[in-house]
């Protein structure tokens, strides 16, 4: 007869050297051990099973007795004594087509487009004469218009062909239209007509320059006659009162999203006060300006007790082992056809030179793909027990040139 620890199927185990993390995705409870004996126990799991044998001479070991008590107290598992090995499967991610196992992902239906869920298209860029008060490089940290540089716009014929192919795919969740200034796009009327006729189920977001918007309220009303269309304004503290007073009151509030760029704690308080009275959907986006590292440390960096509030599902944790949900399934297309999965890394190709299908196929297998940029691949996160609980790598890690935006990792050493 042997004693076995059986963990619940919702319990995720991570081991790094002598550190062990048990995370219960059902109730968010977390046990962390820094003990080589416990690490060894969890390395001995029976292949493919969530079963951990305790050898007869270890039965009265106080370390294991305490461990079992904590596991039971947190509803993470229980023990059985049995002459046969019990069955409890190790949690695993259910992916229909697993590219890692070389299952034929593309050859049968050539369905790589189905991995896309968000496309952000810049219809034009540069040449904006208005001053919307966003920093020049804001587009590297959040999705927003690119106002600087020589004016350039996307060929309408090619755009129409791409939109027709993409929007006929029912699985595309979101399509963003951005610009320098979308009202300057010479084919905006044609796009509106085309999208109205297409009647797609995809959610459409038009990112508008607020100063141009004020002069184009009629055009905004037209955009909003497209099914599932919404307007987004990216603003900083300086442009808030202008937007709220002059524009929001002229268009239905449920069709607007405001993305607020925040650089300081004061900015956060400012926007929280501004929106407390309004029903406008708004989100705060921290912006790193090279001088506000302390603001990031206090407001963006992960702290160990943040994990207590995350309540990640097991599937979210397991997804973090395989893909980066900040970037996965998303592409950004510039007016010249260049495609990016992240504006801080080089383009993956050009839409007008190569088919989107073949570019996405490449993205699915490239080892440097942003779609699969998980923390277990990068320093120092690869040695951290929290690397699958931590939020995925985002644009901030690229801009701050640092992957461990946390105050946790040094404490583990």
Q: Which residues bind ligand SF4 (CB under 6 A)?
A: 302, 375, 380-381, 384, 386-387, 390, 403-406, 408-409
Least Å from the CB of residue 390 to ligand SF4 = 3
Minimal CA–CA distance to 223: which of 255, 198, 250? 255
Dihedral sign computed on CA atoms, order 176, 181, 187, 188: positive
User: CB-wise, 233 or 295, nearer to ligand SF4?
Assistant: 295
Nearer to ligand SF4, 322 or 390 (CB): 390
Task: Provide the minimum distance between the beta carbon of 378 and ligand SF4 in the complex, in angstroms, as a whole number.
Answer: 8
Number of CB atoms found within 10 A of residue 181's CB: 24
Burial class (CB in 10 A: 0-12, 13-18, 19+), 253: exposed
For the CB of residue 77, give the shortest distance to ligand SF4 in the complex, in Å. Answer: 25
User: By C-beta, is 163 or 405 nearer to ligand SF4?
Assistant: 405
Cβ of residue 319: shortest distance to ligand SF4, in angstroms? 15
Dist. CA 246–CA 282, nearest whole Å: 17
Tokens representing 68 are 């079992």
CB 302, min distance to ligand SF4, A: 5
Handedness of CA 295, 300, 304, 309 (dihedral sign): positive
Return the closest-CA partner of residue 146 out of 184, 116, 118, 109: 184
Contact 341, 366 (CB under 8 A): no
Q: Are 290 and 317 spatial neighbours (Cβ–Cβ below 8 Å)? A: no
Considering the complex, state which of residue 307 and residue 371 has its C-beta at the smaller distance from ligand SF4.
Answer: 307
Q: Smallest distance from the beta carbon of 14 to ligand SF4, in angstroms?
A: 10
If the CB atoms of residues 191 and 406 are measured against ligand SF4, the closer one turns out to be 406
- Residue 196 or 377 with smaller CB distance to ligand SF4: 377
């Amino acid at each position: 007869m042997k004693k076995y620890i059986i963990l619940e199927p919702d319990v995720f185990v991570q081991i790094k050297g002598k550190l062990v993390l048990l995370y219960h995705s059902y109730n968010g409870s977390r046990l962390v051990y820094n003990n080589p004996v416990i690490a060894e126990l969890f390395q001995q799991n029976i292949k493919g099973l969530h079963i951990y044998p305790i050898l007869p001479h270890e039965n009265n070991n106080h370390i294991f007795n305490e461990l079992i008590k904590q596991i039971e107290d947190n509803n993470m598992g229980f023990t059985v004594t049995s002459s046969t090995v019990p069955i409890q499967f190790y949690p695993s991610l259910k992916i229909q087509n697993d590219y890692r196992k070389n299952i034929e992902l593309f050859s049968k239906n050539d369905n790589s487009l189905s991995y896309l869920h968000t496309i952000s298209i810049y219809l034009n860029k540069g040449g904006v004469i208005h001053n919307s008060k966003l920093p020049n490089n804001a587009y590297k940290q959040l999705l927003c218009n690119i106002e600087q540089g020589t004016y350039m716009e996307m060929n309408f014929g090619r755009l129409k062909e791409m939109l027709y192919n993409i929007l006929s795919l029912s699985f595309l969740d979101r399509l963003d239209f951005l610009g320098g200034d979308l009202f300057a796009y010479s084919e905006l009327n044609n796009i509106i007509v085309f999208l109205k006729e297409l009647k797609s189920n995809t959610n459409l977001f038009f990112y508008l320059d607020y100063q141009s918007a004020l002069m184009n309220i009629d055009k905004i009303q037209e955009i909003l006659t497209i099914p599932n269309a919404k307007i987004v304004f990216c603003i900083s503290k300086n442009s808030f009162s202008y937007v709220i007073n002059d524009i929001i009151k002229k268009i239905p509030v449920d069709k607007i999203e405001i993305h607020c760029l925040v650089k300081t704690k004061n900015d956060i308080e400012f926007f929280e006060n501004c929106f407390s009275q309004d029903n406008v959907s708004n989100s705060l986006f921290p912006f790193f300006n090279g001088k506000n590292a302390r603001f990031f440390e206090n407001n963006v960096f992960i702290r160990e007790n943040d994990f207590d509030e995350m309540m990640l599902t097991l599937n979210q944790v397991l997804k973090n082992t395989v893909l980066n949900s900040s970037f996965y399934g998303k592409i950004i297309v510039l007016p010249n056809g260049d495609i990016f999965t992240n504006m801080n890394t080089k383009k993956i190709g050009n839409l007008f030179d190569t088919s989107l299908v073949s570019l996405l196929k490449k993205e699915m297998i490239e080892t440097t793909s942003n779609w699969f940029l998980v923390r277990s691949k990068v320093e120092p996160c690869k040695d951290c027990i929290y690397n699958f609980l931590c939020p995925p790598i985002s644009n901030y890690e690229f801009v701050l040139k640092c992957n461990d935006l946390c105050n946790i990792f040094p404490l583990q050493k």
